[in-house]
Amino acid sequence: MAGSAASLKFTVRRKAAELVAPAGPTPHELKRLSDIDDQDGLRFHIPVIQFYRRNAFMSGRDPAAVVRDAVSRALVHYYPFAGRLRELEGRKLAVDCTGEGVLFIEADADVRLEHFGDALQPPFPGLEELVFDVPGSSEVLGTPLLLFQVTRLSCGGFILAVRLMHTMSDAQGLVQFLAAVAELARGATVPSVLPVWRRELLEARNPPRPGFAHREYDEVPDTNGTIIPLDDMAHRSFFFGAKEVAAVRSHLAPGLRKRATTFEVLTGCLWKCRTVALAPDADEEMRMICIVNARGGKGKQSAIPSGYYGNAFAFPVAVSAAGELCARPLSYAVRLVKEAKGEVDGEYMRSVADLMVQRGRPHFTVVRAYLASDVTKAGFGELDFGWGRPVYGGPAKGGVGAIPGVASFLIPFKNAKGEDGIVIPMCLPGPAMDKFVEEMGKLLRPAVDVADMFPAMIKSAL
């Protein structure tokens, strides 16, 4: 992170938040969410942020007005976003399609884009001012499902922050909606991808019959107080370009080195280093939860239609005793992650939906757990509202959700040297972060001569 950016101070002047309703008439109806959507672990608002440079061709155009108008028109197609959540019997969530609209904030900041540093990456200074939590807006029920804030910068660029009620959509679903907004902002009359609701595709069977152990939803008592305390949290981002991924990969057994995906390599690495850093008792069970997208899954019945914008992913989990995870080679952690990911298909998704109904929609286990979500292919970096692609686009911070510090995102990124790679924001208690950096340093030193394996590694790393 650029040193100057960390201490950056600026003032944001906001206009009063307003509701932006659909630009035309929309149906008034009650639409049930899927049994994947309304699980406890998704009942929170998640922020994303996009930074845009000044564009001479757009001089005279106000980004706030352009985005506000495009959002209003996009909501005609995506009208459930303009509604409010209600809870039905059995904690079932449904959208009351009222057409009330989404929150929109227009703002100005006395700061230039370059003041944020050469390499824009989380954590961002002044984030609370760039995605303002309008009082009373962050409840689950009866509040706007989206919040937009357009902050104009003194250089002519702007920042677009969006906060989403996660039960409505996953990253891919949100990008699909924002892509529609972007297309309309650039002059299209209708979005190129039309929305598909079809939440019944991921509803439980009757009667529910889970077919997997689903250890991601184990009820685990926090006997040793291992849920991370929220005070004294350190936020830091780590960059993995082709060279760094190759170095970590060099620590794997030769067969696994070729077969493991970049997500599996980095997730295994993060899990191992984080466990060493937190120093739990050797016999404590540690969990690595992976977000696995079910779109285009292996089982033909898992085929989610194009245009579906609900949550279509599972939380498969790798489980290991802390002592083994710390003592054994990196290959051990990566292999466990690979096996957990491999479980997810159409049958697995139906099994999760069944378990949700059977057990009252539980939260995934957060005790001694860590979660990684890959948004490298979600498409935040492609969103062009007329000013070109963003300098940075993606999650606003790491550790979001009901339990901060538990989740990390893998975000596509170009560093200050112009190298493409992945940036991963981490959130840990201060002393643990120092130990994490030390452990990560060991795995970033190649175990074999990376130069020998580098041509192949570049291809697999990116």
Contact 10, 64 (CB under 8 A): no
Burial tier of 40 (Cβ tally within 10 Å: 0-12, 13-18, 19+): middle
Contact 111, 120 (CB under 8 A): no
Residue partners of 376: CB distance under 8 A and separation at least 6: 410, 411, 412, 422
Residue type (1 letter), 101 = G
* pLDDT given for residue 447 in this prediction: 85
Mean residue pLDDT of the chain comes to 90
Residue partners of 291: CB distance under 8 A and separation at least 6: 313, 314, 315, 371, 372, 373, 374
The sign of the dihedral angle between the CA atoms of 320, 326, 329, 330 is positive
* pLDDT given for residue 296 in this prediction: 67
pTM score of the predicted model: 0.90
Residue type (1 letter), 430 = G
- DSSP class per residue in 369-392: EEEEEE-TTT-GGG--SSS-S-SE
- Average pLDDT, stretch 220-243? 77
pLDDT over 70, % of the chain: 90
Contact 374, 291 (CB under 8 A): yes
Residue ranges of alpha helices (H) inside 279-360 are: 322-327, 330-342, 346-358
Residue partners of 277: CB distance under 8 A and separation at least 6: 428, 432, 433, 435, 436, 439
- DSSP class per residue in 202-245: GPPPSS----S--GGG-----TT--SPPSTTEEEEEEEEEHHHH
- Say whether 414 sits in a helix, a strand or coil: strand
- Average pLDDT, stretch 46-74? 96
Per-residue model confidence as pLDDT tens digits over 169-180 = 999 999 999 999
- Average pLDDT, stretch 324-338? 97
Residue partners of 61: CB distance under 8 A and separation at least 6: 386
Rounded distance, CA 22 to CA 294, Å? 30
* pLDDT given for residue 317 in this prediction: 94
The sign of the dihedral angle between the CA atoms of 78, 82, 86, 91 is positive
By annotation, the residues acting in catalysis are 166, 384
Residue identified by tokens 């538990």 is 406
3-state secondary structure 239-282: EEEHHHHHHHHCCCCHHHHHHCCHHHHHHHHHHHHHHHHHCCCC
Does residue 82 register a pLDDT over 60?
A: yes
Longest pairwise C-alpha distance within the chain: 64
Contact 176, 297 (CB under 8 A): no
Q: How many residues would you count in the chain?
A: 462
Rounded distance, CA 428 to CA 277, Å? 9
* pLDDT given for residue 7 in this prediction: 79
Per-residue model confidence as pLDDT tens digits over 84-121 = 999 999 899 999 999 999 999 999 999 999 999 877 88
Does residue 398 register a pLDDT over 80?
A: no
